Structure 1
Amino acid sequence: MGDGGGRGDGVCGIHTDTVHALAASCKNPQATESIYNIKDHPAEKWICICISSVEQLVTAKPPFSPLLWEFMRNVYPGGISCIVSKGDWLLRLGHSVPCLGPAYDRVGTKDSIMIRVPDHTVTRQLCDITGPLAITSANPSGEPDSTHHNMVISRLGHKLQDVLCDGDSNEVVTSTVVNCL
């Protein structure tokens, strides 16, 4: 996800299990902020957190109900985004060194956050390497979603640090959002 020194300040285009996305390491709050500028994303719209597994959540110890844990274990990995309450547990999310702290205020809303565990091996491995990623669909705000890396390159490539080329998306719609509050 880069060091923030190039075009896009560390924002890359990636493939997910749904449509292509813009991604930035949560270790780099400037990159997370850049996502808003790159796609002209309204400040009130959410940026989601992408992680590699439910186990990353378990180690952060969020105060989820047993029913929510069961739901997440049944739907992840997959094309679901769960809206959950924000809290101090997010500061523990990541590898042995917490990495969400700097981006805490730039993802989700003041009180809630959307979590994704995509059913896409490359994206999950990327999350294992970088820690949680701030992600949103790779399209200019208000325009159709990008379903191929060529769409990301032609529409936003000049604003990005890099694009992970991986062909067509498996789906043509974004993830299904489930309000778990």
Structure 2
Amino acid sequence: MDRERRAEGLAHAQRAIAAKQCVVMPTDTVYGIAADAFSAQAVATLLAAKGRGRSMPPPVLIPRLQTMDGLATEIPEAGRRLAEKFWPGPLTLIFHAQPSLTWDLGDTYGTVALRIPDDEVAQSLLTITGPLAVSSANRTGRPAAQTAEDARDQLAESVEVYLDDGVRPVQGSGSEAGVPSTIVDCTGDRLRVVRQGGLSLEALREVVPEILGVGEEPEQAQSEQAEPEQVEPESAVVAEAEGAAAGEQVQGAAAEQPRD
């Protein structure tokens, strides 16, 4: 996309977002369908376009790290370290949402899933629109769109603007074709991966060694990272209780999180 066409496309997309309509935009993982995160009408239109209900709320893409503190609260230090290390990139972090925000993303149980995409067009759009509710640009149950044409074939007239910037992910970007972002729940006592995607558990553990993998119990993580004699029986019991509490929160906060 040349500079002039990109500017025209971004301006058109900005007008559509302001009018509570949906747009399709490239990201660093797959193409996404986007809407104003602060408009319940726009988010409902997005969910309807995908054939998805309120039980699968979309994550929110943001333009810069500082925006995280305006949208989330009780951000754990470990979650902040992951954001600082891997944003922009294929990592979605679930936090407690700021209670003062007047938005309706669906059945979020007081949480919000945030990400900064590592894509120039996406960041340019987010800079002029602010936070956007974004899910993969496909009908639910069908493959995520890797081109704007793929998205158009599935979403058709339910989208006002299609921003076409070639195949996603870009070759050499480090993201695998059709692989969504990794999702980490940061609302429990320990961080937990609830969907494995473009960022590996090993990479996450280089920053947060205690993070739990998908379906992993706390004592399993300890056994992988410590010698047997270093794991006290009492600590294993405490870890098991903490894991159960975290699991309850994951069900509310992160179950059925969409591809992005």
Shorter-chain TM-score category?
A: 0.7 to 0.9
Larger helix share, 1 or 2: 2
SS at match of 2:168: coil
Q: Is 1:135 aligned to residue 134 of structure 2?
A: yes
Instruction: Confirm or deny: 8 A CA contact 1:83 1:114 kept in the other structure.
Output: yes
Relative distance call for 1:177 and 1:157 in structure 2 (3 A) is: same
Distance 1:4 1:59 in 2: 20
Equivalent residue number for residue 22 of structure 2: 11
Q: 2:54 aligns with which of 20, 43, 52?
A: 43
Q: How does 1:1-181 map to 2 (within 5 A)?
A: 1=14, 2=16, 9-59=20-70, 62-88=73-99, 91=101, 101=102, 104-107=103-106, 109-170=108-169, 171-181=177-187
Cα distance in 2 between the residues matched to 1:117 and 1:87: 18
Q: 2:28, 2:90 within 8 Å by CA — same for their partners in 1?
A: yes
Listed as ranges, the gaps of 5+ residues in structure 2 are 1-13, 170-176, 188-260
Sequence identity (%) = 25
Q: Deviations over 1:141-173 (max 9, x none)?
A: 111111111101111122111110111001321
Q: Distance in 1 between matches of 2:159 and 2:18?
A: 10
For the residues of structure 1 that align with 2:118 and 2:81, how far apart are their CA atoms? 18
CA distance in 1, matches of 2:118, 2:39: 24
Is the 8 Å Cα contact of residues 54 and 106 (structure 2) preserved in structure 1? no
**Conserved in 2, the CA contact under 8 Å of 1:157 and 1:163?**
no
**Greater relative contact order structure (CA < 8 Å, 6+ sep):** 1
In the TM superposition, what is the alpha-carbon distance from 1:71 to its structure 2 partner? 1.5
Report the secondary structure of 2:35's partner residue. strand
Which TM-score applies when normalising by structure 1? 0.83
Give how far 1:27 is off.
3.9
Secondary structure, counterpart of 2:73 in structure 1: coil
Could you say what the CA RMSD is over the residues aligned between the two structures, in angstroms? 1.9
Unaligned runs of 5+ in 1: 92-100
Contact 1:86 1:110 in 2 (8 A): no
Larger radius of gyration: 2
- Cα deviation for residue 59 of structure 1 reads 4.9
Moved more, 170-179 or 33-42: 170-179
